[in-house]
Amino acid sequence: MTSVFPRCLVSSSSSASFSVPNRPPLRYAVLGAGFAGLSVAWYLLKDSPKDVRLSVDVYDEIGIGGGASGVSGGLLHPYSPKGKLLWHGAECWRECLELLNVAETAASSFSTSPSPGDCNEGFGDFMVRRRGILRPATNAKTLGLMSDNARNCLASCVVETLDKEGAQKLVPNLCLPLNCAFYFPGAVNVNPQRYLQGLFLACQNSARASLGRKNITLVKKSIDDVLQLEGEYDAVVICLGSKIDFLASLTGKLPLRTCRGVITHLQLPETTLGSYPEGGPSILSEAWLAVQGPRSLHMGSTWEWLSRNHSPDVSAEEASRALAELLPKARAVYPEIDKWEFAGARAGLRAMPPVTSHGSLPLLGCVNQLIGAAASGGSCRFWVFGGLGSRGLLYHGWLGKLMANAVLCCNEELIPLELTSWKKNSQ
Ligand SMILES: Cc1cc2nc3c(=O)[nH]c(=O)nc-3n(C[C@H](O)[C@H](O)[C@H](O)COP(=O)(O)OP(=O)(O)OC[C@H]3O[C@@H](n4cnc5c(N)ncnc54)[C@H](O)[C@@H]3O)c2cc1C
């Protein structure tokens, strides 16, 4: 198939020159159905002009949420561990909340019962739990800095400083060694599998509403080398998380380090009196507690650097090592954790980008040269959106939008330099 390389296809621009009758539809491949891939797919459909015919094939060897996204803790707020607003935190926060709404709306118009084979075990019934997040202060050295950061918080995600009494009103028996906690009432906890299913449904709804002009297909297939797709698509967007390094043409070429994380699922036995307060926030500390319900929570996470093990399955031995590491950290702020019982564990492999002066930023950009794709009029056909590190949920919305717009316009300059500068050292 002959590729068509449009000048710019975002809907705000004039689309007159692209709505040529009988022109074959533009074809895009998105590799990976995690946070990154589905966000790009959504914006390819949403931000392309209404009258342009376009089809998106999303490839995933496992299915929706088959990688780190599907097992992630789902904790979402725009701040660093010291409470500093992350790079472009306002845009990321806004865009991510927007995508959550999109997914919730799509799911509410459909049955919410999990489809057979989806990776939903151990999750609560919610897609987005809006109960805030509480971070007890545990380090006297950083307390001043955290208090300053709290004063400079986003109006759209405020940070309140609470004393022991205020914090214990939210979570009784919480332990506050420094009599201080930071509370993000607007922060949320996302059930990642349900969210991703909802977002894919929203993509399908968007395609359906286009009356045949747009199309999206999920292709359950493993891609070993992206060059096998050359010629078939107008652009290929690689969103393979930590497995990007397993692609033949990209192995060792991206500055990423892998890091395996185990999350444990704990339950409070029915026979135990009391339960986690219904409106109680999740807790961030050296170990975090992502609350799923009054008697169910996830405790995470471990950090096993340079692991190549991307299996979500956790052996009994790995689970008991994770518990031995996480329980003392959780107990230091929430002693009640000792009443909870182990109910399972899952794991994922993070793709960690280098630390820059702006923090750990994902890697975006056109990679034609890097993978040795044949030159074709200087057009960008192969793109990478990876290295979402430990904050993929926050980053995927805004960066997915930027990525999709760059692809539609075939213009890498639409991506901020901070996200493409990694390429200087990788050519
Ligand atoms: C334990 C743990 C806890 C986390 N908690 C949080 C959290 O609370 N908040 C937060 O923001 N982030 C969290 N993260 C980080 C977050 O999960 C990642 O940043 C994010 O999932 C990365 O998304 P992705 O789409 O880039 O990759 P992935 O989700 O890994 O998606 C890649 C997809 O590509 C598919 N794939 C891989 N290889 C191939 C191939 N060759 N062919 C076809 N398909 C393929 C996979 O099946 C997968 O579905 C956590 C991560 C871990 C491991």
pLDDT for res 425: 83
Nearest ligand 1 atom to the CA of 60 is 44
Tokens of residue 99, six digits: 């995508």
DSSP letter for 157, please: B
SS3 readout for 265-286: EEECCCCCCCCCCCCCCEECCC
pLDDT for res 5: 38
Beta-carbon-side half-sphere exposure of residue 342 (alpha carbons within 13 Å): 16
Distances from the Cα of 180 to the Cα of 78, 83, 154, 390, 415, angstroms: 20, 14, 20, 26, 40
* Mean pLDDT estimate for the chain: 91
What is the spatial distance between Cα 200 and Cα 192, in angstroms, rounded to a whole number? 12
Residue 286 makes CB contacts below 8 A (sequence gap 6+) with: 138, 329, 332
Candidate from 393, 394, 399 with most ligand 1 atoms within 8 A of CB, to mutate: 393
What is the spatial distance between Cα 69 and Cα 218, in angstroms, rounded to a whole number? 17
The pLDDT of residue 113 is above 90: no
pLDDT for res 224: 94
pLDDT for res 377: 56
Nearest ligand 1 atom to the CA of 288 is 8
Q: Residue 143's Cα: distance from chain center in Å?
A: 29
61-97 pLDDT per residue, tens? 999 999 999 999 999 999 999 999 999 999 999 999 9
Worst-scoring range by mean pLDDT, 21-25, 26-30, 70-74, 225-229? 21-25
Average pLDDT over residues 241-245: 96
Predicted TM-score (pTM) of this structure: 0.94
The pLDDT of residue 10 is above 70: no
Residue 67 in contact with ligand 1 by CB distance below 6 A: yes
pLDDT band for position 118 (cuts 50, 70, 90): very low
Distances from the Cα of 379 to the Cα of 3, 23, 376, 382, 386, angstroms: 10, 19, 6, 9, 20
Please state, for a pLDDT cut of 70, what percent of the chain lies above it.
90
Distance 67 CA to ligand 1 centre (A): 4
245-259 pLDDT per residue, tens? 999 999 999 999 999
Residue 48's nearest CA partner among 80, 82, 73, 25 is: 25
Tokens 């803790």, residue located = 73
Residue 231 makes CB contacts below 8 A (sequence gap 6+) with: 1, 3
Nearest ligand 1 atom to the CA of 394 is 11
Residue 37 in contact with ligand 1 by CB distance below 6 A: yes
284-322 pLDDT per residue, tens? 999 999 999 999 999 999 999 999 999 999 999 999 999
Residue 400 in contact with ligand 1 by CB distance below 6 A: no
Residue 30's nearest CA partner among 58, 1, 67 is: 58
134 or 425, which is more confident?
A: 134
The pLDDT of residue 398 is above 60: yes
Residue 245 in contact with ligand 1 by CB distance below 6 A: no
Distance 170 CA to ligand 1 centre (A): 31
Q: Residue 301's Cα: distance from chain center in Å?
A: 16
3-state secondary structure of 333: helix
Distance 229 CA to ligand 1 centre (A): 22
Radius of gyration of the chain (CA): 22
Average pLDDT over residues 130-159: 95
- Kindly list the structural domains of the chain, giving each domain's residue range(s) and its CATH number in brackets, ordered by start: 1-15+23-132+189-256+353-427 (3.50.50.60), 258-352 (3.30.9.10)
The pLDDT of residue 19 is above 60: no
Average pLDDT over residues 2-15: 48
